[in-house]
Amino acid sequence: MHQRNTNAPGAVTRRFSYSSYYWLVDVDDLPVQPRWLQPFARFRASDHLGDPRRSLSENARALLAENDLPADRILLLTCPRVAGHVFNPLSVFYCLSGDNLVAVIAEVHNTYGGRHVYLLRPDDSGRDQVGKEFYVSPFLPMGGTYLMRTPLPAERLSVSIALRQDDATPFVATLVGGGRAATPRAALGSLVRWPFVTLRTSVLIRWQGIRLWLRRVPVQPRPADATLDESGR
């Protein structure tokens, strides 16, 4: 769900929600799919943070090591590459030491080919905050603070991001849902219900942008580094 509030530029409210599916995988033990399913559920290091020549696990652990954070296990919430296409507005790495969530890597992609990583140190309720350092929507200015809540998923998934700017909250996004075992049958059901899911996500984001533009919401200047691969704190 995305909620744009009246205190956003243009004073235009907009709320929309879509259903989709994500995978929650162990980066040290990625699922091995039947041959027929492999083209529709690929997990590649090149689609995420770090050196594409290394594994997902190596890249996530390298970022943690730079910040003196240990992790025995890392779970990744993301959409896989589907039929050669991938686009993840948000992927979440849950980093655990024993049963404790010690860090969360929130990896953000924009529609301009850029990528940015926010390293969170969540409290017991999964909350942390970081400065907005990455250009995502052309209809929201830079600056401000993201209030993020990323508790470890159990039977239910809950992720929320609220943007605070000038003592106001112009934008809120949430991702909620239930979990089930990633059996081939479940994967096939998701593919049938949401074919080409990452392409669909990319198209829907652009469609919502067109609708805001048609309502004359002002477009914010895009910085030169909006297409770069960056890492955050």
* Residue 57: inside a domain: yes
Residue 232, in any domain of the structure: no
Mean pLDDT on 43-67: 95
Res 231 pLDDT > 60: no
- The pLDDT confidence band at residue 210, using thresholds 50, 70 and 90, is very high
Contacts of 118 (CB under 8 A, 6+ apart): 105, 106, 107, 108, 130, 133, 146, 148, 232, 233
Using pLDDT thresholds of 50, 70 and 90, give the confidence band for residue 232.
Answer: very low
Q: Which residues of 33-58 are buried (b: 16+ CB within 10 A; e: fewer)?
A: beeeeeebbbbebebbbbeeeebbbe
End-to-end CA distance of the chain: 26
47 pLDDT exceeds 70?
yes
pLDDT score for 224: 76
Q: Is the residue at 231 inside a domain? A: no
CB–CB of 20/197 below 8 Å?
A: yes
pLDDT tens, position by position, 145-203: 999 999 999 889 999 999 999 999 999 999 999 999 999 999 999 999 999 999 999 99
User: What CA–CA distance (Å, rounded) separates 95 from 19?
Assistant: 26
Asked whether the predicted pLDDT for residue 3 surpasses 70, the reply is yes
How many C-beta atoms surround the C-beta of residue 141 within 10 A? 18
Length of the chain counted residue by residue: 233
Per-residue model confidence (pLDDT) at position 230: 58
With respect to residue 35, please indicate whether it lies within any of the assigned structural domains.
Answer: yes
Q: What is the pLDDT of residues 76-87, one digit of tens each?
A: 999 999 999 999
Provide the 8-state DSSP code for 103. E
Helix (H, G, I), strand (E, B) or coil at 215: coil
Q: And the tokens for 216?
A: 């004359």
Judge contact between 179 and 157, C-beta under 8 A.
Answer: yes
Domain of residue 27 covers 2-221
Tell me if 211 is assigned to some domain. Answer: yes
Is the pLDDT at 143 greater than 60? The verdict is: yes
Position 193 in a domain: yes
Query: Could you tell me the pLDDT band of residue 96, with boundaries at 50, 70 and 90?
Result: very high
Give the residue-averaged pLDDT of 122-137. 94
Domain annotation covers residue 233: no
* Number of domains present in the structure of the chain: 1
| pLDDT > 70 fraction of the chain, expressed in percent and rounded | 97
